[in-house]
Amino acid sequence: PRDFSPQFISSVSGESALPSNLRLPPNLIGVAPQKRASPSGSDLPVLRRCEADIPAHLAPAQTWLESLGSRDSEPLGVVDLHPDVFSVPLRLDILHAVEVWQRNFKRISHAKVKSRAEVSGGGRKPWNQKGSGRARHGSIRSPLWRGGGVAHGPRGPSSYYYMLPMKVRVQGLKIALTAKLAQDYLHIVDSLEIPTPDPHYLLDLVKHRQWGDSILIVDVGDEFPQNILKATEDMKTVNIIPAIGLNVHSMLKHESLVLTLEAVKFLEKKLLWHDVRYVPLYPFKLPYSDLP
């Protein structure tokens, strides 16, 4: 039988056989990582239950608890995650609003141009009103003139500051966490202890477990283990931040999110409080008797 395999022709000798528009780039994002087994049907014990009460009609979301200790370690167990933080309806419009807010509220534009009053000179009438035959003008720095001021240009440092309501920002965080969990980009780790301060160890681990190109590591507290600090110091795409610094833009920028168990507990406590709190009578930064 005739051989029906496609025969490839190259117009230029020396290049690879496929034409350039059919060659796949080696770092193609579309190649899906192998899906992990879902933790619901496994024998490993549930190592962490949610502290807050879960509503009766919802079930906790579950993920694997992993360890950074060695490259090939198996998951240690299963972790319960509160559904009101990790399984909220995915409102992409809220996510977009929070991301745009993060980009713009800090922005101060320093663009400024001189108006006709600020450009030097131009106080005297250049020629008489009548008689010279030229068009009538009052100053040489009016916006019509070359070298004159700008009529409606950007004026002075201006700010683009605005605040979204607190609950919208909180909901944005919850939606981002839900999205990371739903797309398999969330990893829970028991602690950030690694055996060597070598950055290659982390890179190797990330590549082996197919975590993605960029990792955001989140832990509670001021101190981190020295090894992981040294390892991530010079790495651009692997960043470590305290839990207070978590935000939607960083979560969207980094492909994978790695949380420790204490970070999960901290985030759940902080984000669930906004569902049950009263309307503030005065700003929260002033002392309340029941707030810590």
Partner 1 sequence: MSVFGGVFRQSSARLFSTGTCARTRMHAVPKLRELDRWTEKRGVFGVYDNIGILGDFKAHPKDLIRGPVWLRGFSGNELQRLIRKKRMVGGRMLTEDKHSLDKRISFLYRRFNRYGKHR
The count of residues in the chain is 292
Complex with partner 1: residue 45 or 156, whichever CB lies closer: 156
Residues that bind partner 1 (CB under 8 A): 4, 6-9, 11, 19, 21-22, 102, 105-106, 108, 115, 117-118, 155-163, 166, 169-170, 173, 214, 236-237, 239, 241, 243-250, 253, 266-267, 270-271, 274, 283-285, 291-292
The distance in angstroms from the start CA to the end CA of the chain is 81
| Nearest Cα residue to 87 out of 186, 201, 234 | 186
> Cβ of residue 126: shortest distance to partner 1, in angstroms?
21
Complex with partner 1: residue 169 or 187, whichever CB lies closer: 169
> Cβ of residue 45: shortest distance to partner 1, in angstroms?
30
Give CA–CA dist 105/73, Å, rounded.
43
SS3 state of residue 100: helix
Complex with partner 1: residue 127 or 273, whichever CB lies closer: 273
| Nearest Cα residue to 176 out of 64, 230, 117, 251 | 251
> Cβ of residue 101: shortest distance to partner 1, in angstroms?
8
> Cβ of residue 271: shortest distance to partner 1, in angstroms?
8
> Cβ of residue 51: shortest distance to partner 1, in angstroms?
17
Complex with partner 1: residue 129 or 289, whichever CB lies closer: 289
Instruction: Mark 57-73 as b/e (b = at least 16 C-beta within 10 Å).
Output: eeebbbbbbbebeeeee
> Cβ of residue 134: shortest distance to partner 1, in angstroms?
28
Complex with partner 1: residue 173 or 202, whichever CB lies closer: 173
| Nearest Cα residue to 172 out of 161, 164, 162 | 164
- The number of CA neighbours under 13 Å toward the Cβ of 132 is 9
Complex with partner 1: residue 174 or 187, whichever CB lies closer: 174
